[in-house]
Amino acid sequence: MPASSWHLAKAPPDYYVPAFKIIFIIFSCRRSDTHLLHKTTYLFSLLCLVSFLPPPPVQFSPQFAAVVQLQCFHYASVRHIVPSRSPCGFRSSGMGASGLCWPALLLLVVVALALPPAAAGDHDFRRDFDVVWGQGNARFRDGGREVELSLDERTGARLQSKRRYLFGRFDLEIKLVPGESAGTITSFYICTGGARHDEVDFEFLGNASGEPYLLHTNIFSDGKGEREQQFALWFDPTAGFHTYSILWNPHNIILYIDGTPIRVFRNNAEHGVPFPASQPVHVFASIWDAEDWATQGGRVKTDWSKAPFVATYRRYNVTNACVWEEEEDEGEEGGHGGGGAARCSTAMAAVGGVRRREASWMAQKLDWWSWMTLSWVRMNYMVYDYCDDRRRFPSEFPPECVIPIGRS
């Protein structure tokens, strides 16, 4: 895939996706209406072909392309091309749709139309964060609802949340440095600190003017990192704001862009893979100089004549998280004391047939639709995966690499 893929036409809005999904399933279910199917076959076949091209002539969002590709496989199964089972419950042997098809479709319509957009929550960067580095390079706008972090030859800037959290969903909208950004890194991450720290990173590696950013992700658990995955983006992250999210619960860590899952790290502690589950984290946002490695392995250096480099953050949302309540101990360095407890917002949920209080995000995993989208992103936009790097791991890959990510 060419690195400049985000220069292609703008992707359809994400709210188109449920509608397209519904339309395609209707086409699949109404097999008896052969006239309708024949009239849509050519358009549908074209969509199938275009969605698989690397990259497509007309750029699709990952959700939309995953919809098309999923329904292509289903349509092929109905046409006796591949053995499969359709979403409506009928087999490829030529039988009509079962009675479960239309109730399932109705449920899909209701769910698709009922899903609201993510709320930004009540946020104020001045209230919720401390500027722990580069005081003069953090400028608060719009009453604290937006902050600009800048990098110059003197220093960068870093924000640290005043609160700590043990599990949560962390959302932040970012507009990256436009134009020349080689050597810079704009980041959003959660981290515990300490030698055996846990950390989850979004790091955007700057590039020369006209070239796209590279998204560098990494996950540390119990002080061990080196779990890098890198992605090209399907949009221009400097042209507007996009939402980057970290979902962290006892089951998995999932990274999202605009609601699209791009990476999952499962809790495989039972297989000897440490998983962050006991240390509370701060939330960080920063911009800094890393010209020794950020752009093309350090071959392209920072052009300080283009400074200051400015990234903008807004709509910080951490309403779905467990706040760590400190037990202060003046004898402990740093003021965090020797312990604390997590306070989580909860709701009644049925788990294993027993109703108990549990926040829905605490039990969230990737469903089949999210796995489809994740697979599409990995296939089309992942440019580096440590689990495929034989030069780094000539004899044996890390244990999490040999455990199928779709299996608990």
Q: What percentage of the chain has pLDDT greater than the value 70?
A: 63
> Has residue 283 been placed in a domain?
yes
Indicate if 169 and 40 belong to the same structural domain: no
**Which pLDDT band holds residue 69 (cuts at 50, 70, 90)?**
low
Indicate if 97 and 15 belong to the same structural domain: yes
Model pLDDT, residue 387? 95
Residues spanned by the domain of 41: 10-114
Residue range 129-158: mean pLDDT, rounded: 97
Residue in 396, 328, 373, 316 with CA at minimum distance from that of residue 149: 316
Indicate if 131 and 245 belong to the same structural domain: yes
Q: Which of 148, 180, 203, 291 is catalytic?
A: 203
Model pLDDT, residue 208? 86
Listed range (2-11, 38-47, 293-302) with the worst mean pLDDT: 2-11
| Total count of domains within the chain | 2
Structure tokens belonging to residue 254? 């999932």
Buried b (16+ CB within 10 A) or exposed e, 64-100: bbbbbbbbbebbebbeeeeeeebbbebebeeeebeee
> Has residue 157 been placed in a domain?
yes
Residue 339: helix, strand or coil by DSSP? Answer: strand
Boundary (domain end) residue, out of 61, 90, 114: 114
> Has residue 310 been placed in a domain?
yes
* Stronger pLDDT, 187 or 88, i.e. the higher one: 187
Residue 185 to residue 309: CA distance in whole angstroms: 10
Task: Supply the mean pLDDT for the chain.
Answer: 76
Model pLDDT, residue 123? 87
Q: Cα Rg for the chain, rounded, in angstroms?
A: 23
Boundary (domain end) residue, out of 114, 148, 181: 114
Listed range (10-14, 264-268, 277-281, 300-304) with the worst mean pLDDT: 10-14
Question: pTM here?
Answer: 0.73
**Which pLDDT band holds residue 237 (cuts at 50, 70, 90)?**
very high
Boundary (domain end) residue, out of 305, 326, 347: 326
Model pLDDT, residue 403? 84
Phi-psi region of 332 (alpha: psi -120 to 50; beta: other; left: phi over 0): beta
Length of the chain (residues): 408
Give yes or no for residue 192 having a pLDDT over 90: yes
Indicate if 145 and 67 belong to the same structural domain: no
CATH number, domain of 264, equals 2.60.120.200
Indicate if 52 and 134 belong to the same structural domain: no
Check: CB of residue 113 under 8 Å from CB of residue 94.
Answer: no
Indicate if 66 and 30 belong to the same structural domain: yes
Indicate if 173 and 202 belong to the same structural domain: yes
Indicate if 145 and 263 belong to the same structural domain: yes
Indicate if 189 and 299 belong to the same structural domain: yes
Indicate if 195 and 77 belong to the same structural domain: no
Q: Is 199 a catalytic residue?
A: yes
> Has residue 337 been placed in a domain?
no
Q: Is 203 a catalytic residue?
A: yes
Indicate if 198 and 250 belong to the same structural domain: yes
Q: Which of 199, 330, 333, 396 is catalytic?
A: 199
Buried b (16+ CB within 10 A) or exposed e, 245-254: bbbbbebbbb
Upper half-sphere CA count for residue 183 (Cβ side, 13 Å): 19
Residue range 101-108: mean pLDDT, rounded: 42
> Has residue 34 been placed in a domain?
yes
> Has residue 1 been placed in a domain?
no
* Stronger pLDDT, 95 or 119, i.e. the higher one: 119
Residue range 300-304: mean pLDDT, rounded: 93
Indicate if 110 and 153 belong to the same structural domain: no
